[in-house]
Chain A
Amino acid sequence: MTRKIKVAVVGLGKMGLSHFSIVNAHPQVECVACDATGFLIDVLGKNVKNKLYKSYDKMLEEETLDAVVIATPSRHHATMVRAALDRGIHVFCEKPFCLDWREGDALAQLAEEKGLIGQVGYHYRYVGAFREMQRILETGALGTVHHVLAEAYGPVVLRPKRQTWRTQKAEGGGCLYDYAAHPLNLLNWVFGAPQVVSGSSLNSIFSTGTDDAVISSLKFPGGASAQLSVNWSDESHRKMSTKLSFIGTNGRMNVDRQECQIYLRKASDAFPDYKEGWSVRYTTDLTEDPWFYLRGEEYSAQIADFVEAVAAGETTARENGFRSAAMTDQTISMIVDDAGRPGSAAVTPAPAVVATKDSGGRGWRSLFGR
Chain B
Amino acid sequence: MDRLLFGDNQFFGINHMSEEKARAQAMRFQSTDAIMAVLDAAYDAGIRTFMCTTHDRIAEIGNVVRANPGRYPDFIFYPCMPYAHKYANAVTDLGMMGAITNFMPEDGFLRTALSGGKALAGRDIEGIAKVLIDAEMKMFRGLNTPVIFMQNVFTDLLLGMGYTRALKVFHDHVKEKYGAEPAFITMNMPMLFEALTEEGIENPIICSNINKIGFRMSGGRDRYIETLKTGKLRAIAMSVYASGAIPPEEAIEWISELPNVQSIVFGASSRGNIVNTRDLVEKYMGLGTSQAAQ
Residues of A near any B CB (own CB < 8 A): 13-14, 17-18, 20-22, 24-25, 37, 39-40, 42-44, 46-50, 155-156, 161-162, 164, 166, 238-239, 241, 243, 256-259, 282, 284-285, 289-295, 297, 300
Contacts and interface: CB of A to CB of B under 8 A. Distances in A.
A5 to B, nearest CB: 17
A294 B188 CA distance: 9
A259 B17 contact: yes
B27 to A, nearest CB: 10
Contacts of A300: 218
B59 to A, nearest CB: 18
A166 B163 contact: no
16 contacts: A20-B161, A21-B161, A24-B162, A48-B161, A49-B162, A162-B94, A241-B19, A243-B19, A258-B18, A284-B16, A284-B215, A289-B215, A289-B219, A292-B219, A293-B156, A294-B157
Interface residues of B, number: 49
Contacts of A42: 119-120
Given A25-B160, A37-B96, A285-B245, A43 B187 contact: no
Contacts of B12: 238
Contacts of B158: 21
Given A21-B161, A238-B12, A258 B156 contact: no
A24 B18 contact: no
A291 B125 contact: no
Contact of A21 (B120, B160, B218): B160
A44 B245 CA distance: 41
Interface of B: 12-19, 22, 26, 85, 88-89, 91-98, 119-120, 122, 125, 153, 156-163, 165-166, 187-188, 191, 214-220, 242-243, 245
A48 B85 CA distance: 25
Contacts of A295: 153
A292 B245 contact: no
Contacts of B191: 25, 292
Given A39-B120, A259-B18, A14 B91 contact: yes
A362 to B, nearest CB: 34
A309 B122 CA distance: 38
Contacts of B217: 289
Contact of A293 (B161, B218, B245): B218
A44 B164 CA distance: 11
Contacts of A24: 160-162
Q: State the main secondary structure of chain B at its contact with A.
A: helix
A18 B245 contact: no
B1 to A, nearest CB: 24
Given A13-B91, A238-B22, 11 more contacts: A14-B88, A18-B157, A39-B97, A43-B125, A47-B166, A164-B93, A289-B216, A289-B217, A289-B218, A292-B218, A293-B187
Contact of B243 (A22, A43, A257, A284): A284
Contacts of A43: 120, 125
Nearest to B156: A294
Contacts of B125: 43, 46-47
Contacts of B218: 289-293, 300
Contacts of B22: 238
A285 B244 CA distance: 11
A256 to B, nearest CB: 5
Given A289-B217, A290-B218, A14 B160 contact: no
Central interface residue in B13, B92, B157, B158, by most chain A CB within 10 Å: B92
Contact of A284 (B165, B187, B188, B242): B242
B157 A17 contact: yes
A294 B160 contact: yes
